[in-house]
Chains A and B, each alone.
Chain A
Amino acid sequence: MPTTFENWNPGKAENRHPEATYEEKERLFLEVKNDVRYEDFLYGCYECGICVSTCPSARFYDFSPRVIAQAMAREDVERIYDIITEDIWNCAQCFSCVRCPRQNNPGGLVTILREVSLKNGLQESKDALQGYSRVIYKVMLKGNQVSPDMLQPDFFPDWGPWVQNFSQNMHVWRKAIPMDSIRGLTDVAWRTDRKTLLELYTIWFESGNMDIIKELDESLYDLLTDVMNEELEEG
């Protein structure tokens, strides 16, 4: 086919994922584009590569924040589908990329892409978040994270004998901390009032966060909603 203005498609990606229709890929892209944060995060791309030069993930993986900004700016639906299924979980969310002279925020775009991926139940995201359920459970149910009882030698063998030492001494070491709000606690990082936790559960239901969890992991959803609903009913 001769190149005309109508079919001129500079630099756009080929269809590398024929298992999904173009319409489905375009629907996902429009969901990303319609997010309220999208226009705050993308202003175009000079393709200067400053974001890549500062990006830790670009040093470790085949990953490029520039390609993300570039694909978004060109509205390259095929490339964006490649990114949402292959790249987004490699981002370290350090936001070094916001050094961009055009004030793009590729890390922010990755956040929207991840949320859309989760909301739409993409298998690649379910795979990437395998083993992450206990973190989501703690964050949503207890209101904080990295509780002492999560630090067990089986999960952190590469952190050395310190983890073993800590897990054996956890109960007494936690009592030997002078702060009233954390002294003696092992299942949470600090003491949180029950009323505050009920308010947190209200936020998760009202904001639509529970719908995201349902798409991600139905059994985690059932576990969380059972506990939260019971607590909320008791008041």
Chain B
Amino acid sequence: MTELTTVEQILERKSHPVIRDASVAPTDDMHDRLLELEAKGEIVLQRMKGEYVEFPTKYGRIKKIPIQHTWHHKSCGHCGHIPGYASSILWLHRQFNLDYHDPTDQTSCTGWNYYASSASNAVGQAAVMSRNFAAAYETGYFPLIHCGTSFGHYKEIREQLVHHKELRDEVRRILDKMGKPLVIPEEIVHYSEWVYAMRDKFKERQLVDMSQITATVHPACHYYKIVAEDAIFDPEIYGGQRTAVVTALLESLGINVADYSTWFDCCGFGFRHVLVQRDFTRSFAVLRKIETMINEVNPDLTVTHDTGCVTTLDKSQFAAKAHDRKVGIPVLSDAQVAALAMGAHPFRVVQFHWHSTDWRPFLEKLGINWQKYWDEFQNDLDQIKAGTKSGITWEDADKPIHLTA
């Protein structure tokens, strides 16, 4: 028998699905600890009401994903400057008449103060999370976290709350001042996990053929590196060696997902760096991510599932172009791709005009006449400027474009 080279041995090992066994996982099952705390009356454990689906996580534990009655914990980044990200998530809910709540008693997780400046502390961060979760609990809706960082940050805080009684006591003292209980949901769910759960439904309603598109995936660090055991894995996706979200959606929509060697690398966001030290951010985004994608697979699009990643990968390409670097890949979230596939209006819903890297060739390749919809949108803006229309409403945005064409 021919002896395998080291590289061949690695490739052979990677060709088999990873066996996942919850009973031999290297970490505690957080759910057991939450149930113990609930039994002692230390926390209120919020349970899902209504339909949910179950998927395996990194070590084989099962994670429940709610289908509706969801409380949409928005993200400062994408609501602030990529609003088509959030509106696409809600548009998808509306297409299936799924009940949801778009709250105004939500604050940011304030992870910016935690990760970027550390101008906060464990008690403050845990109290912010608990206040938001208590607000969701009061409505009866189950939290669906839009932001990758909020998702990772909340899982980290959940661990700290479970492990440290003194932290729980201090957070409870603060929550008492506002008459709120210390609530922890039975699962902390990222919106991309809901998208993953719904991907076959999206495929059934797909209007735009995407089979000619090649895309790369950037999995968001804070989705699966912080409390890694809580991210969804699937043996059918990369042999279960990477997260299944985003990639599985794109495959369901008929997109060719191309692999590239630096998939594990961070986008370069860095929190403080993206605002005040962007030489670091640009270098990492362009040299380690965008150029590698172009050199290796030359995709039409790159898709991710966090605000910071869309921002970094999209905005960093402009300055690099001035230096003749290989750039020019449009960047979208998985929710925006799913909405577009189902005929969402490119500007009223997907809000392409907030993205900086040229997205026109991508839409043209899909056969979408972006100029026609841009003109339509300009007419909306003219009416808003003239005061004859207060703004775009769901009534304007709900109907898929191919049905109105």
Question: Is B one of A's binding partners?
Answer: yes
Decide yes or no: A92 and B222 within 8 Å by CB, A162-B356, A172-B384 being known contacts: no
Question: Is there contact, CB below 8 Å, between A206 and B103?
Answer: no
Decide yes or no: A132 and B272 within 8 Å by CB, A111-B114, A177-B392, A184-B391 being known contacts: yes
Complex interface bits, A99-128 against B, C-beta within 8 A gives 1, otherwise 0: 100010000100100110110000000001
Q: List 24 A-B contacts (CB under 8 A).
A: A54-B265, A56-B280, A60-B283, A92-B269, A95-B226, A114-B117, A115-B121, A129-B119, A130-B276, A132-B116, A136-B119, A144-B79, A159-B315, A162-B356, A177-B392, A178-B394, A182-B74, A189-B75, A193-B104, A199-B178, A202-B178, A207-B120, A208-B124, A209-B119
Determine whether B188 belongs to the interface, using a CB cutoff of 8 Å to chain A.
no
A183 to B115, CA, bound (A): 28
Known: A35-B122, A203-B131. 17 other contacts (CB 8 A): A36-B166, A40-B160, A56-B265, A56-B288, A60-B284, A93-B116, A95-B222, A145-B80, A174-B83, A176-B391, A179-B87, A182-B74, A182-B83, A200-B131, A202-B177, A208-B121, A216-B117
Binds A, one of B31-39, B40-48, B105-113, B193-201: B105-113
Residues of B contacting A128 with CB < 8 Å?
A: 272
Question: Is there contact, CB below 8 Å, between B103 and A177?
Answer: no
Residue of chain A at shortest CB distance from B270? A92
Residues of A contacting B276 with CB < 8 Å?
A: 130-132
A140 to B110, CA, bound (A): 8
Which bracket fits the contact residues of B? 35 or more
Decide yes or no: A37 and B122 within 8 Å by CB, A176-B381, A182-B83, A202-B174 being known contacts: yes
One of B113, B225, B264, B384 near A98 (C-beta < 8 A): B225
Question: Is there contact, CB below 8 Å, between A177 and B83?
Answer: yes
Binds A, one of B244-252, B347-355, B365-373: B347-355
Determine whether B127 belongs to the interface, using a CB cutoff of 8 Å to chain A.
yes
A192 to B107, CA, bound (A): 7
Determine whether A139 belongs to the interface, using a CB cutoff of 8 Å to chain B.
yes
Determine whether B388 belongs to the interface, using a CB cutoff of 8 Å to chain A.
no
Residues of A contacting B390 with CB < 8 Å?
A: 175, 184
Residues of A contacting B178 with CB < 8 Å?
A: 199, 202
Determine whether A73 belongs to the interface, using a CB cutoff of 8 Å to chain B.
no
| Least CB distance, B130 to chain A, in whole angstroms | 9
Chain B interface (Cβ < 8 Å from any Cβ of A): 26, 74-77, 79-81, 83, 86-87, 90-91, 102-108, 110, 112-124, 127-128, 131, 135, 152, 156, 159-160, 163-164, 166-167, 170, 173-174, 177-178, 180, 221-222, 225-226, 228, 264-266, 268-273, 275-276, 278, 280, 282-284, 288, 315, 318-319, 347-349, 351, 353-356, 377, 380-381, 384-385, 390-394, 396-397
Binds B, one of A4-12, A23-31, A64-72, A146-154: A146-154
Residue of chain A at shortest CB distance from B284? A56
Residues of A contacting B173 with CB < 8 Å?
A: 206
Which bracket fits the contact residues of A? 35 or more
Residues of B contacting A111 with CB < 8 Å?
A: 114-115, 118
A113 to B158, CA, bound (A): 21
Question: Is there contact, CB below 8 Å, between A144 and B80?
Answer: yes
Chain B CB within 10 A, most for which of A199, A209, A212: A199
Residue of chain A at shortest CB distance from B222? A95
Question: Is there contact, CB below 8 Å, between A180 and B283?
Answer: no
Residues of A contacting B170 with CB < 8 Å?
A: 207
A139 to B116, CA, bound (A): 11
Nearest 5 A/B pairs, CB to CB = A160-B318, A114-B118, A143-B107, A207-B124, A146-B80
Decide yes or no: A178 and B396 within 8 Å by CB, A146-B77, A172-B381 being known contacts: yes
Question: Is there contact, CB below 8 Å, between A209 and B121?
Answer: yes
One of A54, A174, A189, A204 near B124 (C-beta < 8 A): A204
Residues of B contacting A208 with CB < 8 Å?
A: 121, 123-124
Residues of B contacting A212 with CB < 8 Å?
A: 119-121
Question: Is there contact, CB below 8 Å, between A98 and B226?
Answer: yes
Decide yes or no: A178 and B318 within 8 Å by CB, A173-B353, A203-B124, A207-B121 being known contacts: no
Question: Is there contact, CB below 8 Å, between A94 and B160?
Answer: no
